Amino acid sequence: MNFLFTTLLSTLDQSLDKSISISLEKSIPIFLISFFSNTFSAISGGGAGLLQFPSLILFGVPYSQALASHKLATVALGIGGSLRNYKSLKNDINISSQILIFGLPGVIFGASIVEFISEEYLYLILGLFSIFLAIYSFLEPNLGLSSDKINLKIANKIRFLISIFFIGVLNGSISSGTGLLVTILLIKTFGIDFLRAISLTFFTVGIFWNFTGAIFLNKIVPVSSNILILLIIGSFMGGYFGAHLSKLKGNTLIKKTFTIVCFFCGLSLLIKSIISFLFKN
């Protein structure tokens, strides 16, 4: 874990804008927003950008800097969530390896083509899909509340691996909401409960996907080191605390939080898409 933090920060050292300073009045709210948004994200399995990213913009952080800062801070979220649930990951090494082997190439591909694609279309598709997942979760009362052993057919395994690759492409290009997609995909494919699925999501997507995406982004805009430190601390603490609450309260709380976060994350992406279309035209 320390290696990931050290490598990431040293790689991005030249991209940090250390001249940007923020007042104490802004520092405290930014930290609190990061902490609470990542706490909810750790419970639901994704969606930290629903609150953290737009809040940075409202506090006067330029759009590109807010996006870069949020992307880097999500690595800390993954580490915080994984530390609390690392014991449950030992039984799912095979699934984790599949997510990494087939997802990481997608992340790299998505990061390499991000400047050539129209983000508004991706926001629209991902937004609609996230809202559909929220409705589906609401209408399926037993979804993810318990683990059922499923004997996968070859066709299902292939479908899972292809889906993981394309979700990786989305993660590398726009990043928002992809953790939610991986969480629900794991539940539907392997019949596991929300707690196991989220543990896998934060270990694979939260740490390795986001870490790889940050490294392989063609252009990393300068970000405020002060803001990044606040976000990293808030993300790490929120991820750990959210994972702790998940283990205490169980799958019922996780499912309710997942449904709510998924819906509003989808709504947020739809709004982004509409705004992008309006400004483009």
Retrieve residue 115's tokens. Answer: 């400047």
Cβ pair 261, 60 in contact under 8 A: no
Question: How many Å apart are CA 117 and CA 97, to the nearest integer?
Answer: 29
Asked if pLDDT for residue 222 goes beyond 50, the answer is: yes
pLDDT for the residue numbered 1: 54
Q: Quick one: DSSP state of residue 145?
A: S
How many domains does the chain divide into? 1
Asked if pLDDT for residue 86 goes beyond 80, the answer is: no
Give the closest residue to 167 by CA, choosing from 120, 214, 130: 130
Mean pLDDT of 203-215: 83
Asked if pLDDT for residue 14 goes beyond 60, the answer is: no
Question: How many Å apart are CA 254 and CA 169, to the nearest integer?
Answer: 26
> Is 4 part of any domain?
no
> Is 141 part of any domain?
yes
Cβ pair 79, 216 in contact under 8 A: no
Question: How many Å apart are CA 189 and CA 87, to the nearest integer?
Answer: 22
Asked if pLDDT for residue 236 goes beyond 80, the answer is: yes
Asked if pLDDT for residue 119 goes beyond 70, the answer is: no
Asked if pLDDT for residue 12 goes beyond 70, the answer is: no
Q: Quick one: DSSP state of residue 205?
A: I
Amino acid identity of residue 33, one-letter, is: I
> Is 3 part of any domain?
no
Asked if pLDDT for residue 19 goes beyond 50, the answer is: no
Q: How confident is the model at residue 111 (pLDDT cuts 50, 70, 90)?
A: confident
Residue 159's domain spans which residues?
A: 18-280
> Is 53 part of any domain?
yes
Asked if pLDDT for residue 220 goes beyond 60, the answer is: no
Give the closest residue to 273 by CA, choosing from 130, 60, 74, 142: 130
> Is 78 part of any domain?
yes
Asked if pLDDT for residue 209 goes beyond 60, the answer is: yes
Question: How many Å apart are CA 21 and CA 225, to the nearest integer?
Answer: 9
Q: Looking at 165-174, 188-197, 202-211, 268-277, which range is the least confident one? A: 268-277
Q: Which residue has the higher pLDDT, 65 or 219?
A: 65
> Is 273 part of any domain?
yes
Asked if pLDDT for residue 41 goes beyond 50, the answer is: yes
> Is 5 part of any domain?
no
> Is 137 part of any domain?
yes
Question: How many Å apart are CA 113 and CA 15, to the nearest integer?
Answer: 20
Question: How many Å apart are CA 225 and CA 205, to the nearest integer?
Answer: 24
Per-residue pLDDT of 128-162, as tens digits, reads 888 888 888 888 877 777 777 777 889 999 999 99
